[in-house]
């Protein structure tokens, strides 16, 4: 199993691009190489998309799912304000539902990209 993990680590490690002998790199060339090798632009796009996905799912939970839950609770009961002593249980449950939905979406995206053979 340890050998398999080493193989996976070696497969995921970025390979340095070949350097022409006698040519020195300037700072700009090194920066371009860094951006390409570590796929920084793709990472930045994924990060921004993740932020907005989180906001979208939070809105889905707050504005669509939890109002349905409130239909089955006593009149005047607000799930955000539900507490048990000092613990804000209602807000936690809303955040937990948001987390579960985001985790499910990420799982489905990874499963789809694996099925399509994308890295």
Q: Where are the domains of the chain?
A: 27-116
pLDDT for res 92: 93
pLDDT for res 36: 86
57 and 108 in contact (C-beta within 8 Å)?
Answer: no
Q: How large is the average pLDDT for residues 6-11? A: 78
CA dist 36 and 19 (Å) reads 15
pLDDT for res 22: 63
State both tokens at 107: 């799982």
Q: How large is the average pLDDT for residues 13-32? A: 76
Phi, psi of 99 (to 5 degrees): -60, -45
pLDDT for res 19: 63
pLDDT at 16 over 70: no
Q: Over the stretch 31-90, which tens digit does the pLDDT of each residue have?
A: 888 888 888 888 888 899 989 999 999 999 989 998 888 888 887 778 788 899 999 998
pLDDT band at 20 (very low <50, low <70, confident <90, very high): low
60 and 101 in contact (C-beta within 8 Å)?
Answer: yes
């Amino acid at each position: 199993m340890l050998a398999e993990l080493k193989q996976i680590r070696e497969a995921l490690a970025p390979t340095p691009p070949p350097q022409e002998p006698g040519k020195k790199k300037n700072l700009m060339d090194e920066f371009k190489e860094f951006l390409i090798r570590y796929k920084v632009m793709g990472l930045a796009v994924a990060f921004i998309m993740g932020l907005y996905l989180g906001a979208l799912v939070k809105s889905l939970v707050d504005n669509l799912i939890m109002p349905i839950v409130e239909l089955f609770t006593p009149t005047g009961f607000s799930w955000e304000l539900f507490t048990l002593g000092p613990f804000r249980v209602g807000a936690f449950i809303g955040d937990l539902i948001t987390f579960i939905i985001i985790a499910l979406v990420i799982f489905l995206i990874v499963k789809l990209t694996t099925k399509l053979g994308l890295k």
